[in-house]
Amino acid sequence: MELRSRIDAALKQAMKDRQPERLSTLRLISAAIKDREIAARGSEDAGAGLGDAELRQIMGKMVKQRQESVRAYEEGGRLELADRERDEIAIIEEFLPRQMTEAEVAAAIDAAVAEADASTIRDMGRVMAILKTRHTGQMDFGAVGPRVKDRLAGT
């Protein structure tokens, strides 16, 4: 749970440095994490807490929501709100792993297909599961899904 402690330390530092925008975004991250922990209380692993992969997943979802907001604000001519959303994205991305390049995504897909011994479209679920366990927060799975499908259809 190193990621959680990094977020908490950044939150405390933003308070000390009197950075209201950064503090607000970090509080949003903490609130989203607490919401997920509360929702998980009824499950069997409630005592284990959330791991780094789940935290990255939460923050990845937050980034995606803000990207959609940026598009909506730009279409509506609200550029100051779009800039604020971009600032929040930058703060959230500080805690996420670096996004993979197109070449790295292609190599990861090839490796996952080889590991799963996938040969048909029916194996897509296994390939996606491998990619999600290894590369959560590093790639956009909405864009990767069609690429995996094309790769399996072509083999």
Q: Which domains does the chain have, with CATH numbers?
A: 2-93 (1.10.1510.10), 102-154 (1.10.10)
CB 58 within 8 A of CB 7: no
Q: SS3 helix, strand, coil % of the chain, rounded to 5?
A: 80, 0, 20
- The pLDDT assigned to 45 comes to 55
Give the C-alpha distances (Å, rounded to integers) separating 117 from 37, 63, 75, 150, 152. 36, 33, 44, 16, 11
Interior CA angle at 133 toward 127 and 135, to 5°?
90
- The pLDDT assigned to 48 comes to 60
CB 88 within 8 A of CB 124: no
Distance CA 119, CA 151 (A): 9
- The pLDDT assigned to 44 comes to 61
> Which of left, alpha, beta for 139 (phi over 0: left; psi -120 to 50: alpha)?
beta
Longest dimension (CA), the chain: 56
CB 152 within 8 A of CB 114: no
Cβ count near 130 (within 10 Å): 19
Query: pLDDT 10s digit of each residue in the chain, 155 long?
Result: 588 899 999 999 999 999 999 999 999 999 999 998 888 887 665 556 678 778 888 888 898 899 999 999 999 999 999 999 999 999 998 888 787 888 888 898 888 888 888 888 888 888 888 888 888 777 877 788 888 888 888 75
Q: Which residues lie closer than 8 Å to 85 by C-beta, 6 or more apart?
A: 66, 67, 69, 70, 73
* Chain-centroid distance, C-alpha 67: 12
